[in-house]
């Protein structure tokens, strides 16, 4: 498993005349961790959904290692090497934790026994192994978030899309997830793009941050640069009208 | 499956194999009905129990299968073992059309169910007016008494019993294999959440198409068996919505998505159903069976929504209880 380079070029999406995303471009080098932040309703999840194949963009393109993946169906995007989590978690509720992750593992390992073994190793890494025989619907929210990550990783992606996996976690749990992602990234070189509101996680993980507001990119830089960027501060905190 | 389950299953199979020696003609015909409903329930369960797609039009596939095989036999003398291929082909084509229209255009849940009913209904009207199939007057197979001709499926109760037993056992083994396979896991994932399934690489449309066509193919076999067992076919009954609903009851009552559910449901429904038919006759009150079906469904939905089998299985220690 190694990472792939992600490139968004002039990406746009219009829903029946409503401009949700407009001309967003940025690139994530192979093996990098990149954060996408912005206020609620800025279009982050729409951007994610275009990368993951849920929506076809109305303008621009998404490419992975130079190959255009925008417009492909979600399962084809997954085959191209993109794993994603859902902001509102979507476990297979009636299946056990192990079965959930096995479905993901079956994508590249057609033998169920092999897929199951792979799923077990991923569950061990995410600390869900003890709970592998529980039904997914009985998991707590933090565990469901970890299950989302485990299931996406089981498809052996080159790019991992994480949609607010820290939301709802306690600070210590955030630290555990951050440590896990950092180790994963260091060991495998997996490229990670995350949407995140928990700044503690963004600051700790991301090499580069892209900020969107009202569907447009307003800033890009290192976390430290973004924290000082006036446009970003205005968007998040509002700006004072001169008296 | 654990040791107890294997032992239980072996005893059950031995009893079923010996049944024609142990039971009189009447109870054997009841057991035939049980196995028939267990079989079609198993076939329907692939769509609803595994892949989560509600079909209320499975009579379409059984009816088509029956008519095609019976028509080939009466008109051209082509035996059912050959005719069955054409029967399955017709049902698979019908299933593919219904499935593609429903799944491609994302008709979900009850809307998909309505589509399946609609197809059953207009096929019924079509057959009502199709002379080759006998129109509304029905199609009849020549009854030959005292014959035992397995090659043409002409024979007595015992022969039909063993054929439906083989079919029910075969469907059980097939479903057991499917559930463990990659396709089976994908179906369960689609049933639970199609969007999440697609995100982990499941080709959702393709898997749903496989579910509907496979389910239709198996149901067509039941239709062929049914046509040759009863020797007659009428559009009004073969394609009736009631026939479709009947097929769904055993798996729903026995346990959706389980392997033993359709069989357990068929035992309960048909066994007790026959008892109520007897009572109906004895006390000259009609419709007790239908009332019983209604009540059974109501009670199961309210108190054991997962069905009877999962409840029995944990009680008897056939399956480990899930936390």
β pairing state of A6-15 and A82-84: unpaired
Mean pLDDT throughout A125-139?
Answer: 94
CA atoms of A111 and B180, how far apart (whole Å): 10
Looking at the partner chain, which of B182, B188, B203 has a beta carbon nearest the beta carbon of A75? Answer: B203
CA distances from residue A178 to A122, A185, A194, A200 in whole angstroms, order as listed: 16, 10, 12, 9
| A90's tokens | 């979507």
Site of tokens 């008296």: A243
Say whether A82 sits in a helix, a strand or coil. strand
CA atoms within 13 A on the CB side of A225: 11
Q: Inter-chain contact B193–A106, Cβ cutoff 8 Å?
A: no
**Cβ proximity of A241 and A68 under 8 Å:** no
Whether pLDDT at A40 is above 50 = yes
| A171's tokens | 């600070």
- What total of structural domains would you count in chain A? 1
Looking at the partner chain, which of B189, B193, B323 has a beta carbon nearest the beta carbon of A133? Answer: B323
Spell out which residues of chain B touch residue A78, defining contact as CB-CB under 8 Å: 198-201
Query: What are the backbone angles phi and psi of residue B82, rounded to the nearest 5°?
Result: -90, -45
Task: Assess: ipTM above 0.85.
Answer: yes
pLDDT-based confidence at residue B107 (cuts at 50, 70, 90): confident
Mean pLDDT throughout A200-212?
Answer: 94
Structure letter (DSSP) for residue A129 = G
Spell out which residues of chain B touch residue A112, defining contact as CB-CB under 8 Å: 180-182, 185
Q: Inter-chain contact B182–A110, Cβ cutoff 8 Å?
A: yes
**Cβ proximity of A212 and A42 under 8 Å:** yes
CA distances from residue B298 to B45, B268, B288, B305 in whole angstroms, order as listed: 19, 14, 15, 10
Spell out which residues of chain B touch residue A54, defining contact as CB-CB under 8 Å: 195
Q: What is the pLDDT of residue A232?
A: 87
**Cβ proximity of A148 and A165 under 8 Å:** yes
CA distances from residue A128 to A29, A68, A148, A189, B198 in whole angstroms, order as listed: 30, 35, 11, 23, 23
Looking at the partner chain, which of A78, A96, A138 has a beta carbon nearest the beta carbon of B201? Answer: A78
**Cβ proximity of B308 and B300 under 8 Å:** yes
Count of helix runs (H) and strand runs (E) in chain A? 9, 10
| B74's tokens | 């009466």
How do the domains of chain B map onto residue ranges?
A: 24-240
Q: Provide the residue range defining the domain that includes A187.
A: 6-89+157-237
This prediction has a pTM of: 0.92
* Closest Cα in chain B, distance from residue A232 (Å): 32
Residue in A with minimal Cα distance to B49: A94
Question: Nearest Cα to B202, choosing from B221, B228, B219, B184?
Answer: B184
What torsion do the CA atoms of A230, A232, A233, A234 make, to the nearest 10 degrees? 90
**pLDDT 10s digits, A49-70:** 999 999 999 999 999 999 999 9
β pairing state of A208-213 and A191-195: unpaired
CA A4 to mean position of chain CA atoms? 14
> CB-based contact (8 Å) between A70 and chain B?
no
Structure letter (DSSP) for residue A29 = -
> CB-based contact (8 Å) between A79 and chain B?
yes
Structure letter (DSSP) for residue A208 = E
Question: If 0-12 CB within 10 Å is exposed, 13-18 middle and 19+ buried, where does residue A30 land?
Answer: middle
Let me know if residue A98 belongs to a domain. no
**pLDDT 10s digits, B38-62:** 999 999 999 999 999 999 999 999 9
CA atoms of A69 and A84, how far apart (whole Å): 14
**DSSP class per residue in B93-145:** HHHHHHHHHHHHTT--HHHHHHHHHHHHHHHHHHHHT-GGGTGGG-EEPPP-T
Mutation for testing the A interface, residue in B180, B201, B203, B206 having most A CBs under 10 Å: B201
Let me know if residue A113 belongs to a domain. no
CA atoms of B168 and B166, how far apart (whole Å): 6
CA atoms of B151 and A184, how far apart (whole Å): 63
> CB-based contact (8 Å) between A127 and chain B?
no
CA atoms within 13 A on the CB side of B263: 19
* Closest Cα in chain A, distance from residue B9 (Å): 25
* Closest Cα in chain A, distance from residue B157 (Å): 42
Question: Nearest Cα to A226, choosing from A206, A214, A209, A204?
Answer: A209
Say whether A194 sits in a helix, a strand or coil. strand
**pLDDT 10s digits, B159-182:** 999 999 999 999 999 999 999 999
Q: What is the pLDDT of residue B319?
A: 61
Looking at the partner chain, which of A103, A133, A135 has a beta carbon nearest the beta carbon of B200? Answer: A103
Q: What is the pLDDT of residue B216?
A: 98
CA atoms of A44 and A215, how far apart (whole Å): 8
Q: Inter-chain contact B182–A94, Cβ cutoff 8 Å?
A: no
Mean pLDDT throughout A173-202?
Answer: 93
Whether pLDDT at A213 is above 90 = yes
Count of Cβ atoms closer than 10 Å to residue A200 Cβ: 13
Let me know if residue A67 belongs to a domain. yes
Whether pLDDT at B66 is above 90 = yes
Strand ranges inside chain B, DSSP E:
139-140, 232-233
**Selected residue with higher pLDDT from B186 and B305:** B186
Interface of A with B in 82-111 (CB under 8 A): 83-84, 86, 90-96, 99, 102-104, 106-107, 110
Question: Nearest Cα to A177, choosing from A122, A120, A126?
Answer: A126
Let me know if residue A101 belongs to a domain. no
Looking at the partner chain, which of B191, B193, B199 has a beta carbon nearest the beta carbon of A52? Answer: B199
Q: What is the pLDDT of residue A243?
A: 57
Residues of B with CB under 8 A from a CB of A: 180-182, 185-186, 188-189, 191-193, 195-204, 322-323
Spell out which residues of chain A touch residue B180, defining contact as CB-CB under 8 Å: 112
- What is the CATH number for A42? 3.40.50.300
Mean pLDDT throughout A10-22?
Answer: 93
């Amino acid at each position: 498993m190694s990472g792939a380079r992600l490139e968004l070029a002039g990406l746009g999406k219009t829903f029946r005349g409503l401009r949700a995303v407009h001309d967003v471009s940025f690139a994530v080098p192979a093996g990098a961790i990149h954060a996408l932040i912005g206020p609620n309703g800025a279009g982050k999840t729409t951007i994610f959904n275009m990368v993951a194949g849920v929506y076809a963009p109305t303008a621009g393109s998404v490419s992975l290692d130079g190959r255009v993946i925008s417009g492909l169906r979600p399962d084809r995007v997954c085959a191209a090497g993109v794993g994603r989590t859902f902001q509102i978690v979507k476990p297979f509720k009636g299946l056990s934790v192990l079965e959930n992750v096995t479905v993901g593992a079956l994508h590249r390992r057609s033998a169920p026994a092999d897929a199951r073994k792979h799923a077990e190793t991923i569950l061990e890494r995410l600390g869900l192994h003890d709970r592998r025989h529980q039904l997914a619907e009985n998991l707590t929210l933090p565990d469901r978030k970890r299950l989302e990550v485990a299931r996406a990783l089981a498809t052996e992606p080159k790019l991992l899309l994480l949609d607010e996996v820290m939301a709802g976690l306690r600070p210590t749990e955030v630290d555990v997830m951050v440590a896990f992602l950092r180790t994963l990234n260091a060991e495998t070189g997996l490229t990670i793009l995350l949407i995140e509101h928990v700044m503690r996680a963004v600051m700790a993980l991301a090499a580069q941050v892209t900020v969107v507001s009202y569907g447009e990119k307003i800033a890009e830089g290192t976390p430290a640069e973004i924290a000082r960027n006036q446009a970003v501060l205005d968007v998040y905190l509002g700006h004072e009208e001169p008296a | 499956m654990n040791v107890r389950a294997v032992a239980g299953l072996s005893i059950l199979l031995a009893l079923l194999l010996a049944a024609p020696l142990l039971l009189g003609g009447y109870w054997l015909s009841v057991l035939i009905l049980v196995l028939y409903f267990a079989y079609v329930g198993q076939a329907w369960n692939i769509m609803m129990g595994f892949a989560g797609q509600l079909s209320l039009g499975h009579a379409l596939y059984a009816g088509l299968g029956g008519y095609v095989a019976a028509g080939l036999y009466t008109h051209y003398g082509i035996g059912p073992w050959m005719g069955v291929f054409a029967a399955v082909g017709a049902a698979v084509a019908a299933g593919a059309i219904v499935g593609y229209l429903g799944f491609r255009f994302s008709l979900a849940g009850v809307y998909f169910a309505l589509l399946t009913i609609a197809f059953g209904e207009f096929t019924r009207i079509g057959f009502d007016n199709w002379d080759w199939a006998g129109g509304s007057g029905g199609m009849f197979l020549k009854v030959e008494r005292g014959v035992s001709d397995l090659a043409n499926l002409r024979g007595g109760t015992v022969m039909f019993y063993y054929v439906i037993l083989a079919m029910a056992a075969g469907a059980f083994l097939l479903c057991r294999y499917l559930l463990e396979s990659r396709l089976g896991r994908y179906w369960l994932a689609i049933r639970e959440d199609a969007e999440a399934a697609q995100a982990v690489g499941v080709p959702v449309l393709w898997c749903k198409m496989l579910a509907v066509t496979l389910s239709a193919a198996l149901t067509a076999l039941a239709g062929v068996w049914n046509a040759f067992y009863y020797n007659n076919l009428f559009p009004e009954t073969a394609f009736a919505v009631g026939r479709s609903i009947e097929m769904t009851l055993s798996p729903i009552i026995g346990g959706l998505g389980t392997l033993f559910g359709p069989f357990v449901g068929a035992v309960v429904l048909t066994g007790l159903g026959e008892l109520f038919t007897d009572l109906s006759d004895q006390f000259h009150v009609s419709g007790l069976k239908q009332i019983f079906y209604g009540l059974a469904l109501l009670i199961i939905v309210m108190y054991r929504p997962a069905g009877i089998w999962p409840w029995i299985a944990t009680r008897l220690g056939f399956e480990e209880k899930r936390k």
